[in-house]
Each structure stands twice: as structure tokens, then as C-alpha cells.
Amino acid sequence: MRDAFVAELSEIAAVDPSVMLITGDLGFGVLTDFADRFPDQFINAGVAEQNMTGLAAGLALEGHKVFTYSIANFTTLRCLEQLRNDVCYHDADVTAVAVGGGFSYGQLGMSHFATEDLAILRALPGMTVVAPSDAWETRLLTRQMVARPGPKYLRLDKGRANLPVDDDDVTLGKVRKVRDGNDVTLVTIGAILSEALKAAAKLESEGINARILSVHTLKPLDAAPLVAAAQETGAIVTIEEHNVVGGLGGAVAELLLSEGAMPAGWRTVGLADCYPTIVGDQDYLRAAYGMDSAAIEAAARAVLAR
């Protein structure tokens, strides 16, 4: 997804000189071509992410479309005050790009996990929050985010769902129906969709037909497909590589309650409200903390049993 983002932004920057990319001393190799081709549209702000974000806000207020780039917890949580006061308060056209969402940097430990970012960023007024599930979604959503003014957050991770290519089915702000079904709905965000697809295949072998919705845009949240899922399947399981407090599960629950579309059954698959202490690769940590395909299958069976 990271490479797809850089490739798409490079194509856009070639025809739009207002597009700028600022890195916090990260991305050597992957950003080299962009820096060489567009030296006037690229800045390495150094290991100073807060300054990077303030610089981005200033450039945006002068008419640029600015993307900041760093590891997920650094470009968001370390820069929260700057995102809130400089970017969002002034409605600046800055997109904070976070590589390494969830457990992507699992071998580096809790300091490099991004498991609170969705909850925190969606609480900022005016912030658009996007987390694609694969490279194709990343490319299309990057192009659409350039065209959308104002503060934005693009969360990328190292996983990928490898969905079929369908231009017409990827629209910023719209939920993507990946798989139809009438027994239970699996609602996902980000590349952990790959685990939901595995779970759905296993459940189908047991006679359980699961609908899958990819919520690549968490904010603004598309109500209609989620309300329809609650009414038509009755059972909802939300799935996120993120703390269960305030992320996808919280957002969907808030929406359904406000719309009067209470599902008959509900489960949230994600990180329990804790700081992870285990290190390992992304797949290992998903299994260790109960958000792999086996955990999703178990949640679906449990919600249907009710």
C-alpha cells in the first residue's frame, strides 16, 4: 500500500505543482524517485514530526496540497496538538499519511504500534479518516483525497487484501460491499479485511453466508449500507487492527443507534483495551491478540448463537 500511495502521488504531482510531500526523515528508497523528480515539491523535515506538521499547515494555507509522511504513531499521536490546532482548526489542506498502521511494525514493540489512531483522529472536527484495505483502494483513494480539500488522515499498513480491481466500487466516503450474504455481516477497516475473507470462506463451508463490508472511509461514515446490514442480516461483527475503544466498532455502534437500526447480535473483534506486550510480525500479533480469521469465525458463530 505504501508503494501504491507513492506511485499515485507521483503521477498527480507531475501535473499539479501544488502537491507537496514532507517526510519526517523516513521512506528512504521508496521516496527517492519522488524527491529526484520533484525537488521543489519535496521536503525532508528531519526527525521533527511536530515541525513537519506545522510546516505543512503553513504551506497549505499558502495554497499547497500537502502530504506528511511517517510511521503511524509519529505522524499522528506525536503531532496531535499540531494536527488539532494548526491543521484542523484552520481547515488546512494537509493529509497526514501514516505507514505502519496497526501491528505493521510488530517487531519494534508497543512504541511503534498504531492502535489508538483511528479513535483519536476521528474525534478531530473536520478530519477525514481513510484506511484502505489493499493497493488498488490506496491508489484510487489517494487521487480522491487530493481532490478533497481540508484535513485528512490516510492510514496504510503492511497487509493487503488483494481484492478484484473495480474502479467504480471505490469511492471516498462510501462503504464497499466486498461480499454479499444474509446470515451475518463482517464490517472491516484496513488490510485486516484479508482475515475476514478467510473467515467468510470457512463459515461458508459450515453453511453460514457472511456479508463483508469494507469501511475504507471511517469519517465521514456511510450510513446506508451499515443500516441495511443491521436490518437484513441482523448480526454484526466489526473487525479492526485497533483498540476496541473508539475505533470502527464504536463508530458503527454510534451510527446504528442514532439511526434506530439496532442489530439482533453484536460483536467487536479488535485489540482489548490494553497495551500489547508481545512482539512479532503482523500475522503473529493478530493471532496473539484475537483478531485473526479464527477469532472472526468464533465471533460470527457466537453472535449467531444468540
Contact 67, 38 (CB under 8 A): no
Q: Are residues 286 and 228 in the same domain?
A: yes
pLDDT digits (tens, 9 = 90+) for 113-141: 999 999 999 999 999 999 999 999 999 99
**Residues 19 and 140 both lie in one domain:** yes
| Model pLDDT for residues 24-47, shown as the tens digit of each residue | 998 888 999 999 999 999 999 999
Residues 244 and 275 placed together within one structural domain of the fold:
yes
Averaged pLDDT of the chain: 95
Alpha helices in 42-82 (DSSP H): 49-61, 72-76, 80-82
Q: With the CA atoms of 126, 174, 102 and 187 taken in that order, what torsion angle do they form, in degrees rounded to the nearest 10?
A: 130
pLDDT tens digit sequence for 183-233: 999 999 999 999 999 999 999 999 999 999 999 999 999 999 999 999 999
Residue 229 phi, psi dihedral angles, 5° rounding: -65, -40
**Chain-centre distance for alpha carbon 103:** 13
Tens digits of residue pLDDT in 67-120:
999 999 999 999 999 999 999 999 999 999 999 999 999 999 989 999 999 999
Query: What local confidence, expressed as pLDDT, does residue 99 receive?
Result: 94
Q: Using the 3D structure, point to which of 155, 189, 224 is the last residue of a domain.
A: 155
Q: What is the DSSP string of 189-200?
A: -GGGHHHHHHHH
Query: Does residue 135 form part of some domain?
Result: yes
* 251 plus 273 within the same structural domain: yes
pLDDT in tens, 150-180: 999 999 998 888 777 766 689 999 999 999 9
For residue 162, tell me if it sits in a domain: no
Per-residue model confidence (pLDDT) at position 159: 81
Give yes or no: residues 151 and 14 share one domain. yes
Mean pLDDT within 54-59: 98
Per-residue pLDDT tens over the stretch 231-248: 999 999 999 999 999 999
Q: Mark whether 134 and 31 lie in a shared domain.
A: yes
pLDDT at position 168? 67
Does the residue 161 lie in any domain? no
Q: What is the number of H-type helices and E-type strands within the chain?
A: 12, 12
Cα distance between residue 183 and residue 205, in whole Å: 13
Instruction: Give residue 256's domain range.
Output: 167-305
Let me know if 236 is exposed, middle or buried by CB neighbors in 10 A (0-12, 13-18, 19+). buried
Domain boundary among 115, 132, 155: 155
Residue 94 lies in a domain: yes
What's this model's pTM, rounded to 2 decimal places?
A: 0.96
Task: Identify the CATH number of the domain in which residue 217 sits.
Answer: 3.40.50.920
Look up the CATH number of the domain holding residue 68: 3.40.50.970
Residue 32 falls within a domain, yes or no? yes
How many domains does one find in the chain? 2
As to burial, measured by CB atoms within 10 angstroms (0-12 exposed, 13-18 middle, 19+ buried), residue 44 is: middle
Report the pLDDT value the prediction gives residue 40, as an integer from 0 to 100: 98
